[in-house]
Amino acid sequence: IAPPPLGPPSSIAPPPLVPPSSIAPPPLGPPSSIAPPPLGPPSSIAPPPLGPTSSIAPPPLGPPPSIAPTPLGPPSSIAGPPLGPPSFVGPTSFVRPPVAPPPTVAPSASLSQPLSRPPMGGSSTSQPPPATFQRPPITSYPTIASSVAPQTSTNQQQMQRQYQQSPAAAVYQSNVTRDGWNVGWGTDSVDLLQQRQVLPPGGVEPPKPVLAQDFVRNCIPDILRCTFTKVPETKSLLQKAKMPFGILIHPFKDLEQLPVVSCQQIVRCRSCRTYINPFVVFRGERRWECNLCYRINELPDEFQYDPVSQTYGDPSRRPEVREATIEYIAPSEYMLRPPQPAVYLWLLDTSRQAVDTGYLQIVCDVLREQLDNIPGDRRSLFGFMTFSATVQFYLMPEESDSVNMLEVGDLEDIFVPHPDDLLVNISEQRDQIEKLLKTLPQTHANTTHTQSALGPALTAAYRLLYSLGGRLTVLTSILPSIGPGILKAREDPNQRAATDVLHLNPATDFYKKLALDCSGQQIAVDLFTLNSQYIDLATLSGISKFSGGCVHHFPNFHVHLNPSSVSPFVSCLTRYITRKIGFEAVMRIRATRGLTITNFHGHFFVRSPDLLSLPNINPDAGFAMQVGIEEPLHNIRTAAFQAALLYTSSRGERRIRVHTLCLPVTGNLHDVVNTVDQQAAVALLARMAVDRCQNSTSTDARDALVNACIDALTSYRNSLTQSPGRALMAGHNLKLWPMYTLALLKSISFRGGLSTKLDDRVFAMCELKTLPTRALIASIYPDLYPVHNLSESGALNIDDEVVPQPCRLQLSAEYLNRDGAYLADTGSKMIMYVRSSISTQWLNDVLDVEHFAAMPQMIHELPELDNNTSVLLNSFIKHLNNNRPYQSPILILREDSPARLQFAQLLVEDRTEGAKSYVEFVQFLSSNVK
């Protein structure tokens, strides 16, 4: 709520209202983008002819043309709130105008934007007493009337569009109005038995929670997302909805704009310790009501000062109450000890098998290249250890510039020799580090050890980092075979296709216990496995799971035998080394009173019911929490979740990143079911199913997924006012659920019947647990684009580069033409599939080959050629690669390539061995939904 002094209308010159944005980078985000058009056009639109008499004139533009430009101006810079009192003038009169076919009114397209928020325009002309404008009562949020108005108008616009598009409207004349409304409100439904194409060609956008305070920006769904956009009021309602309730969070996501606040006192609720956020209610000037526990708190004096405009007296303009995602620089009371330096310790496998893959050279090269890009400050420490049948330490004493290797063979009770010389300062002893990186591969080139003492090496690393904390990176490629932590090959290759998968649980608790010890000392262990043989990831991953680390798996990595495996490894490693990192972190999730977090999913250690201990936090880690309703949320209009991540940045600053998501509460089953966020729900179910696999059996987990889908569709059916007969109805927000469920059943984690290596499966499960929602959905249901006919129509123009936007296709072979080329994008890799009748022109343009027969079986790089087709395709792929941790490797397959199975596996809607096709699955669901 930002009630800037509107003053008397005449003084509403827009520019002065725009505060210099020094602290809060996007304080005026969307509004400012609206600002220009209204200021411009009005003068051209408002020429007197429209005057008071003209009936077409949108009322808001109202009588005196001289005022017309001004009313449109201010609201744009005010992000909404002034709607308050004036809109009472009569919402209806404002709602209507956009409905009347605008073309006659709107001389330019730019008008349609201001029109969608008409009430503000008219408001100032209707002369409410200026006094109320000066300071609209902060406590009174715009009432329903005012906030509904803009929505209604946009909805109706949508509705009109739908009229023109949907042929159904023509057929069912009688239902036109109702359908239109349904579409407008997002409650339209489809019969899944009839309608096979349910995927929106433009991609799925997460539904947005609609709040009464819709001028306040909510947390973006990529960071914090709830499975419902309207929270059910009571437990029984949630049970009736039969859908999972939870939140998905990506707390340390790389953000382009993040307001950072440094203040002496961070304003928090005194009873529940919630950070002040945009959804609190101000009670007068000096007090605010917490939106989680409803305690009334005092505002400190400092909060009256607005750092943006450098003025006093208006707490509602502080960035803390304008941004749902904000970062604080924490004062000293948030530190248990002085912020730790960035500490990086690498633990590399130097057994014969590992050295043979050639990974050591690559790791050393990448590290040497990126040594300057490792996040940290002057205090950063760096160290190396290697292990084979013994554990090797590398001493880099400060006084000399030599590097000495020490080998320790006593594995039962390992000790750390000269701990002071093992971790060295990156900036001061850089030469030694470089020297070590240069010589390391040669040192071990002729090793004859074929055993791995991973357990003792980890223990030694833990002891080395004990007093400091930091990040331990482990690269290993064989099963630990000596010393404590020894593992056995448990996998039976003949059982790889079995429906019930065994050995998904750890064989020993050695790694888990060590991970808990590490977690207590703020050490995170990140695991890279580069194995060609079974390595028991189910047990090994414990070391990362409970210490807040990440797991990366590169099966069959070999520099010479499998050259295509190198580039993904290099790009992943580069990203890993250079990405941001937070040390000694904790994350606390708070929720409105009555809601409790029941289960957590991700890599961390749960220290108390709402506190996760994360020795390290990385920007690619996602988390999920299941939420339960303990007390009914009666008489509450909104529920909120707040995630606060306290961490030490690599520069030694203690920071708190706070995300707040606010959702409306509803007591209506229809609302709950209709506003579910299917992607979030499926992502949460996938995580729950992974747990089920571990605690029970895979068959059980698969059944649970199917049952969840049946339940969701059943409760949708029950929420309909009239019985749909035999049709399998699914709402707009539900129609992709069966498809995603089917995709999950066929994903590497849960599939049965297809031969899957145990390690691959366990890794896929780790990914399901930790991927952020968008990446998770892309990994189970990849985006498929036709790329043989990219055109500039409908293309985006980003930085003078034309980015074509082909429609997404559903993942079934029936949508693939014989003369096409298709790109499947799973987020972690892209596969382009070139069909045999593809035009030679296209092959020539894009791949620089004469004809299909001349095309190699597999290509690992897309050439950049100087013609339009190639430029379009390359810019499209570059666009897809934006906003992801690292560039996805691309694989180009021709239709008859032996590797085409890789592509065929992605077509999850087709029937595969032991699994249904989409049509069969929907029929199966329909027979079970009653």
Partner 1 sequence: MVFSFAAFSYICALIIDAFLIFFAIFHIISFDELKTDYKNPIDQCNSLNPLVLPEYALHVLFNLMFLFGGEWFSLCLNIPLIAYHINRYRTRPVMSVPGLYDPTNIMSHDVLNTCQREGWIKLAFYLLSFFYYLYGMIVSLIATS
Q: Which residues bind partner 1 (CB under 8 A)?
A: 505-510, 512-513, 516, 520, 545-546, 596-600, 605-611, 626, 628
Residue 356 or 610 having the CB closest to partner 1: 610
CB of 268 to partner 1, least distance (A): 17
- Contact by Cβ (8 Å): 162, 169: yes
CB of 175 to partner 1, least distance (A): 45
Residue 310 or 505 having the CB closest to partner 1: 505
CB of 625 to partner 1, least distance (A): 10
CB of 766 to partner 1, least distance (A): 15
Residue 222 or 517 having the CB closest to partner 1: 517
CB of 481 to partner 1, least distance (A): 19
- Contact by Cβ (8 Å): 144, 212: yes
Give dist(CA 624, CA 325) in Å, integer: 18
CB of 606 to partner 1, least distance (A): 4
CB of 689 to partner 1, least distance (A): 15
Bridge-based pairing state of the strands 654-666 and 231-232:
parallel
CB of 628 to partner 1, least distance (A): 7
Residue 512 or 670 having the CB closest to partner 1: 512
CB of 607 to partner 1, least distance (A): 6
- Contact by Cβ (8 Å): 769, 785: no
273: left (phi over 0), alpha (psi -120 to 50) or beta: left
Residue 317 or 590 having the CB closest to partner 1: 590
Residue 598 or 844 having the CB closest to partner 1: 598
Residue 452 or 613 having the CB closest to partner 1: 613
215: left (phi over 0), alpha (psi -120 to 50) or beta: alpha
Residue 37 or 506 having the CB closest to partner 1: 506
Residue type, 493: P
Q: Which tokens go with 260?
A: 């950072």
Bridge-based pairing state of the strands 343-349 and 470-476:
parallel
- Assign 622 to helix, strand or coil: coil
Give dist(CA 180, CA 186) in Å, integer: 10
CA contacts within 13 A on the Cβ side of 923: 5
- Assign 204 to helix, strand or coil: coil
- Assign 822 to helix, strand or coil: strand
Residue 514 or 663 having the CB closest to partner 1: 514
Exposure string over 584-611, b if 16+ CB within 10 A, otherwise e: bbbbbbbbbbbbbbeebbbbbbeeeebe
CB of 701 to partner 1, least distance (A): 16
Residue 513 or 900 having the CB closest to partner 1: 513
Give dist(CA 350, CA 475) in Å, integer: 10
652: left (phi over 0), alpha (psi -120 to 50) or beta: left
Name the H helices within 546-697.
566-578, 669-674, 678-695
CB of 752 to partner 1, least distance (A): 24
CB of 401 to partner 1, least distance (A): 43
CB of 455 to partner 1, least distance (A): 13
Helical (H) or strand (E) element with 76: helix 69-77
CB of 484 to partner 1, least distance (A): 10
Q: Which residues pair with 626 in a beta bridge?
A: 246, 599
Residue 43 or 271 having the CB closest to partner 1: 271
Helical (H) or strand (E) element with 7: none
Nearest by Cα to 276 from 242, 223, 318: 318
Q: What are the φ and ψ backbone dihedral angles of 413, each rounded to 5 degrees?
A: -130, 85
- State how far the alpha carbon of 681 is from the alpha carbons of 56, 167, 218, 237, in Å: 46, 31, 19, 17
Separation of CA 523 from chain center = 25
Residue 596 or 707 having the CB closest to partner 1: 596
- State how far the alpha carbon of 114 is from the alpha carbons of 72, 120, 150, 556, in Å: 7, 9, 10, 58
Give dist(CA 924, CA 291) in Å, integer: 44
- State how far the alpha carbon of 443 is from the alpha carbons of 182, 352, 399, 448, in Å: 70, 12, 23, 12
CB of 600 to partner 1, least distance (A): 8
CB of 546 to partner 1, least distance (A): 5
Return the DSSP state at 274. P
Give dist(CA 345, CA 234) in Å, integer: 49
Return the DSSP state at 676. B
Angle, nearest 10°, between helix axes 678-695 and 758-770? 140
CB of 550 to partner 1, least distance (A): 17
Residue 57 or 292 having the CB closest to partner 1: 292
- State how far the alpha carbon of 390 is from the alpha carbons of 278, 406, 441, 446, in Å: 56, 10, 17, 15
Neighbours of 109 (CB within 10 A): 11
CB of 542 to partner 1, least distance (A): 8
Residue 299 or 627 having the CB closest to partner 1: 627
DSSP 188-211: -EEETTT----S-TT-PPPPPP--
Long-range contacts from 491-494, C-beta under 8 angstroms, 24+ separation: 491/534, 491/757, 491/758, 491/759
Residue 37 or 246 having the CB closest to partner 1: 246
Residue 63 or 628 having the CB closest to partner 1: 628
Residue 115 or 693 having the CB closest to partner 1: 693
- Contact by Cβ (8 Å): 460, 391: yes
Residue 23 or 606 having the CB closest to partner 1: 606
Nearest by Cα to 245 from 925, 711, 770: 711
